[in-house]
Every structure is written in C-alpha cells, then in structure tokens.
Amino acid sequence: MTLSRLRVRDFRCFEQLDWEPGPRWTLISGENASGKTSLLEAIFFMGRGRSFRTARAERIIRMGQTGFELVGDIQADRAHRLGVRREKRKARWRLDGADLNRMTEIVSLFPVLSIDTSAQSMVEGGPEYRRRFLDWGLFHVEPSFLSAWRRYRQALSQRNGALRTGAKEAFLKTWDEAVASHGEALDHFRRAQVQRLNGCFSEMVQLGLGVGQASLEYQAGWRQDASLSDLLSENHENERKMGHTLYGPHRAELVLRVDGVPARERVSRGQQKMLAACLLLAGAQVFESERGRGVVALVDDLPSELDNFHAERLARLLGRLRGQCFITGIERGRLSGLAPSDSRLFHVEQGQLHPAD
C-alpha cells in the first residue's frame, strides 16, 4: 500500500500542493505551526474520512475559503485515484472517477493509522478508545465483522429506546434476544482479534520498552458466570431507571497489562506513550499478517514525543513493518538519524513544502 502522489487545495495552511512522497519512508521537518502535522492530517482524512485533530471538518478548511480538496494516487492491488471535495458542509468522495457513498470502501482500500499526541489515550483514556482500536482491526481482517457490528448497534439503539419510553415487557424481550444474539457474535470476533494481537503486542513491548511481560485482557462487558440474555432479561427495572442497556459489548474493555498488572500502574507516564505506540503497531502487524499488505503509518513529531532511547526503538519497530511510513519532527538532523538512509526528506515552512538537502 503506497500513496505515490497527493494533491491538496485549501487544506489548513496549504493553498496548493502537488507532492510525491517516498515509496517507503518520508520525513517531514519544520517548526511548530509550519504545516507538517497538517500533511499527516490530510493523509489520515483520505483514509478515514475525518481528522485526528478535530471533530469539526470546517476547521481544516484554509482561512477565508469555503471548502477543500484532496486527491491521492494510491498503489494497492492496482493503481487507484481517490479524491474528496468538501464544499458547503458536504463532502463528495470519488474513486477512479466514480462517486462513492460509503466510507467503508475508502477505509478498506486505504488503511491508515496515526501515532500522534492523542495516542496515549489508548493507555490512559476510557475503554471506548481501545474498543475502537479493536473494531478498526476487525473491520480490515474479518469480512463478517461490519454487518455484525451494525446489527448489534441497531438492536442496542432500539432496546435503549424501548427502555426510555417504557415499552411493554414483551416488546422489550424481543430486543433482549436481538442484543444478546448480535452481542455474542460481536464478542466472538473481538476475542479472536485479541488472540491475534497478544503475541504481537508482547513482542513489540519487549523490543520497544524492554519491561516485563506485556499482555492484553479482554473483558466482555458482562459477567461471565451468566449469559448475556439472562442478564438483560433480569435487569429491566434497573435499566428502565438508567434509560440504557447496562450489559453488552458496548461496555467491553481491553486491559493492557505488564507483568500481570494494569499497565497504567506499572509503567511511567512517559513509557505510556511508547506502550500506546506498541499497541497500534501490533494492530498494523496483525493487519499485515492477515491481509498480506501494509498500512500507511503516520507518526507525528516523533523525536519530541519520546526521548532518544525510545524514539530510536520505535523507529526500529516501524522498520519491521512493510507499509509506507510518514514521520514529522522539528530537528531535521535528529529526524534523519532515526530513519533509513534511503528515506525521502522534506521541509515545510509557512505552508510551503520543499525537498530538503
């Protein structure tokens, strides 16, 4: 998987850009607020349909303009051209000249992951961050996952609505059965993904941090001494008071452990950044193993986020992956010292991108 060319119009600080990054490693240096993170954000938007910096798409439009456009030439199973144009709060996606209505086609074609300042949420944030990580991996490696996830979310929404509106017991029990059936299917997929991840994660942590034995523990979102169906049917009264479903995969948790202890209690805050990166890279490694191709890894401001020791180790872990890698940093020399000699180096300043000497 390679992004061979990216054209940008009115995205963040970039008025116009026509860029050919390196086929393997691309390094981007520049001062703070120069635009280097915006380049990664544009690539991420191409693959996820959203920003990793803001939930409000209008904030990524260049000041004074009404929209933006991104066009990428992608080498996957064959050459593809992927484009998005956003005007007047509406985005239009096109693939190889045809309109696209579903983001799933784009996410499947162009898998990207980001290791940025928000990555630490994988360790210290709420369970939703880790559930999202699991589900991203499952979307790419398990063909039946998406329909199971959609069916569960629909059943859960209907059941929550029935709880809030005081629906009769018979009607509520219908949704009990649907939530339990689809929830158990979703739980099955997630457990299989955690099994795939565990060995990769342990190896990544050993190579990246060198501390103890790392492992992942999946907690389903309901007690394992009872069936989900029984718990749902037995707790109508409490759930009516709360107005939502108290048990199911939407309450699941992925616990990161080091030497059997929750990671946030075992490693320092600085080490948590590296631990989060190891988890994300384990996901990339599972993707490679299952799909036979690499992801596009975006690493924002690597040298300043980690000390020299951990930055060098993370760079070595990135080198184990087969996909394309984009890394930003302030100091050009330090950035170059982390990457292979054949990396392509660029410098960005005030929205202008140039090859670096």
Range of the domain at 196: 118-291
Q: At what angle do helices 127-141 and 145-164 cross, to 10 degrees?
A: 140
34 is in an annotated binding site: yes
More confident residue, 134 or 341: 134
What's 267's domain CATH number? 1.20.1050.90
- Average per-residue pLDDT for the chain: 94
| Tens-digit pLDDT profile for residues 137-188 | 999 999 999 999 999 999 999 999 999 999 999 999 999 999 999 999 999 9
- Say yes or no to pLDDT of 248 above 80: yes
Residue 266's pLDDT band, with cuts at 50, 70 and 90, is: confident
More confident residue, 235 or 357: 235
**Quick check: is 157 in a domain?**
yes
| Tens-digit pLDDT profile for residues 339-353 | 998 999 999 998 899
Question: What torsion do the CA atoms of 134, 137, 141, 144 make, to the nearest 10 degrees?
Answer: 50
36 is in an annotated binding site: yes
**Quick check: is 314 in a domain?**
no
Check residue 240 and give its pLDDT. 95
Instruction: Name the pTM for this structure.
Output: 0.94
| Tens-digit pLDDT profile for residues 71-111 | 999 998 899 999 999 987 888 999 999 999 888 999 999 99
**Quick check: is 211 in a domain?**
yes
33 is in an annotated binding site: yes
Report the domain count for the chain.
1
32 is in an annotated binding site: yes
| Tens-digit pLDDT profile for residues 35-52 | 999 999 999 999 999 999
Check residue 305 and give its pLDDT. 74
**Quick check: is 353 in a domain?**
no
Check residue 357 and give its pLDDT. 66
**Quick check: is 170 in a domain?**
yes
**Quick check: is 54 in a domain?**
no
336 is in an annotated binding site: no
Give the neighbor-by-neighbor strand order of the sheet with 253-258. Answer: 214-219, 253-258, 261-262
**Quick check: is 58 in a domain?**
no
Percentage of residues of the chain with pLDDT beyond 70:
100
**Quick check: is 36 in a domain?**
no
